[in-house]
Amino acid sequence: GENVEQHPSTLSVQEGDSAVIKCTYSDSASNYFPWYKQELGKGPQLIIDIRSNVGEKKDQRIAVTLNKTAKHFSLHITETQPEDSAVYFCAASKVGNQFYFGTGTSLTVIP
Please say which residue, 73 or 101, places its beta carbon nearer to other proteins: 101
Please, what is the minimum distance in Å from the beta carbon of residue 99 to other proteins? 6
Coil, helix or strand at residue 82: helix
Please say which residue, 46 or 110, places its beta carbon nearer to other proteins: 46
Q: Please count the other Cβ atoms lying within 10 Å of the Cβ belonging to residue 54.
A: 13
Classify the C-alpha dihedral 23-13-38-55 as positive or negative: negative
What are the Cα distances from residue 60, in Å, to 79, 80, 93? 10, 12, 25
Instruction: Compute the distance between CA of residue 96 and CA of residue 111 in angstroms, rounded to an integer.
Output: 40
Please, what is the minimum distance in Å from the beta carbon of residue 110 to other proteins? 20
Binding residues for other proteins, rule: CB under 8 A, are 32, 34, 36, 41-46, 49, 51, 89, 95-96, 98-99, 101-104, 106
Please say which residue, 101 or 109, places its beta carbon nearer to other proteins: 101
Please, what is the minimum distance in Å from the beta carbon of residue 28 to other proteins? 18
